[in-house]
Structure 1
């Protein structure tokens, strides 16, 4: 163990002792009702196709949620092959599981700055233009799941991290900063006239400047006639986020008048900036944060509550566990037992 690790461990131990009884995890009430049974909107979870092979997780999904979001297997990184062909086996399996269990399906995601498949980068425009290939991809993917999804994250994380304009990507370079976004929405509407079409982003609660730029982009899309019909806020946050930040963000986003999707909620313990907080105190704050997110969503007008999605139900299935084996960011533990975070969600939804 390094000196830095020893200091961190010592600091955590001292902080835990200082917190005393206030930091102890609160008991979780027995027989919590399933989340999907206590709210009038959809409760969702992310999922990978391989997760469906785990009977315990499949049972937990059936009990708790009524909407699924493919975690990454509807993204270009999975679908687009090096030769330009498309692969749909995993997303088809998730779509079938959702349909077989009476669950809605959220399409995620059509266009993301972070992904530039090889087939697009080496496109021979003597055969087909870049714009044609871009449109063809969206038409093929959104068209395949037409009538099977309730909505699409059409464009993901379009706003620059510091809030200074929009991100540069292969799509923006070839089709234009704003034009590639508007084109994606128009093409998605052509492919699926009935789906809610969302603009999705993250750190909107932490960074007011980014949130303002996100809202200006949404307003410009609406002014241009692009069929933006919902917005998604991911809410990947740490347990030491300041109370009130999620609530403030939700109120700001609500001013656009569009349906809102809490699209990727998780609350990390190990990403907390305050390294003096002990584990039990972080768990207490984690539960409080889940509760605040639910309360802020419940405060929205009913017509603006699109859905509330957890980015993984169990700790062991979270992408954050891959970053750090000690993280426990979800409302349910590795054995599918509800944590204080799950109880906080129930309490807030019942509100």
Structure 2
């Protein structure tokens, strides 16, 4: 790695910290006591949640969750110091036609975050999924696709300049066998892997102070997929591409073992000079015919949540821990994984599960120890 590249990234992160840390500091205090997740968190660690909307919610029999569920919004404001639009900044929703952008739903989330002193994570600027049909079926030339992508990134990031703190720029570019998704991903297939570097450069031009992440699932521990990301990020940094962070999504299941080398894996990316983050944490389980989790399942789930948080807090540059929905009422898991669910910190009626208490206890312990 070139020293001047590391120095430049360090300076950028230091400048961003001057803006962000007062926001995080404001998240504690009388209005957010240590009985809440955000109040319990140590300085410099954002505790986040996805903001329900779009995606599978469009097919459900309830109204759009964020604007219509008052209790949901109140809990989101009370417990979390960071929010991530679940789908509202993804291509299909924010860019529904080639010459049309729809910022309204995401604007509402950003304004909510401002009112509640929360940071915002945006996603996903370059992804193989949830692209609009006009794009996937448009029969564009490579030159046209390149211009479309550049316009999208710079328009979206530019629209939220100074308002969205982190962007997942490139999302899920490798499959689980560590192969680049050339067939699934229109950008890689038509423009080659060099488009990843272009995407980061375009996003950085649009908002030089935003922290730019590369992000994926099944990368929590050291494996072929996370190894591939390590080599990709190292190469990008050597080419002075403005990659600032690596995000592990954290979609786990108690049917599988916990990635015991998660801290070690996060640390090796941190050693490259990156911020690291857990960006989409949930822990699903197989449910019996009752649809209710057992006490043993909830205890194991709580242990997984706690261990993931502790792995993050053990790495100095792990600055954010985000759950992908905090209530089963709006979880994506039962829609995608048949027969599975109970993946979040709260039930459909907002009853707190043991995992909530484990996270809060771990946060309080870390805050008191620092």
CA-CA distance at 1:63 after TM superposition = 1.0
Which of 302, 308, 319 is the matching residue for 1:306?
A: 319
1:226 to 238, 241, 262: 241
1:336 equivalent in structure 2: 350
Cα distance change, pair 205–305 in 1 and its aligned pair in 2 (3 A)? closer
RCO comparison, higher one (Cα < 8 Å, 6+): 1
Distance in 1, Cα, partners of 2:220 & 2:82:
24
- C-alpha deviation, 1:325, in angstroms: 6.8
Q: Does 2:172 align with 1:157?
A: yes
Q: Is residue 347 of structure 1 aligned with residue 361 of structure 2?
A: yes
CA 1:253–1:285 in 2, change beyond 3 Å: closer, same or farther? farther
User: CA separation of 1:124/1:240 partners in 2, compared to 1, >3 Å: closer, same or farther?
Assistant: closer
1: CA distance between counterparts of 2:92 and 2:105?
12
1:59-89 CA-to-partner distances (Å, cap 9, x unmatched) read: 1111100111000110001122245422122
Q: What is the TM-score when the length of structure 1 is the normalising length? A: 0.82
**1:123 and 1:130 in contact (8 A); partners too:** no
1:107–1:152 Cα contact (<8 Å) kept: yes
1:339, CA displacement in angstroms? Answer: 1.0
Scaled by the length of structure 2, the TM-score of the pair is 0.78
In 2, Cα distance between equivalents of 1:185 and 1:219: 14
Q: Say which of 273, 284, 295 aligns to 1:257.
A: 273
Q: Which residue of 2 aligns with 1:237?
A: 252
| 1:43-62 alignment, distance < 5 Å | 43-49=47-53, 50-52=64-66, 53-62=68-77
| Structure 2 stretches lacking a partner, 5+ long | 1-32, 54-63
- CA deviation string 1:5-26 (max 9, x = no partner): xxxxxxxxxxxxxxxxxxxxxx
Q: Whose radius of gyration is greater, 1 or 2?
A: 1
CA displacement, residues 175-222 of structure 1 (integer Å, 9 cap, x when unaligned): 212x11000000000111110000001101367011100111111111
Partners of 1:38 and 1:298 lie apart in 2 by: 13
Corresponding residue for residue 35 of structure 2: 33
Q: Is the 8 A contact 1:165 1:213 kept in 2?
A: no
- C-alpha distance 321-160 of structure 1, shift in aligned 2 (>3 A): closer
- In 2, the alpha carbon distance for the partners of 1:154 and 1:305 equals 18
Q: Quickly say closer, same or farther: Cα 1:83–1:56, change in 2 above 3 A.
A: same
Match of 1:281 in 2: 296
For residue 107 of structure 1, report the CA deviation from its aligned partner.
Answer: 0.9
Deviates further, 96-105 or 321-330: 321-330
d(CA) in 1 for partners of 2:109, 2:129: 23
Shift in Å, 1:143: 0.5
2: CA distance, partners of 1:271 / 1:186:
45
Partner of 2:46: 42
Report the Cα offset of residue 285 of structure 1: 0.8
Task: Show structure 1 runs of 5+ residues with no match.
Answer: 1-30, 273-277
> Is the contact made by 1:316 and 1:333 (CA closer than 8 Å) also made in structure 2?
yes
Alignment of 1:84-99 (within 5 A): 84-99=99-114
In 2: Cα distance, 1:206 partner to 1:102 partner: 32
The question of whether the paired residues in 2 share the 8 Å contact of 1:152 and 1:198 is answered with yes
RMSD between superposed Cα atoms in Å: 2.3
For these two proteins, the number of residue pairs brought into alignment is 312
Q: Describe the shift of the 1:130–1:230 C-alpha distance in structure 2 as closer, same or farther (beyond 3 A).
A: same
Deviations 1:267-319 (A, max 9, x none): 001299xxxxx833221110000010111011011xx1221101011121111
Query: Alignment partner of 1:155: what SS?
Result: strand
Selected match of 2:187 from 167, 171, 189: 171
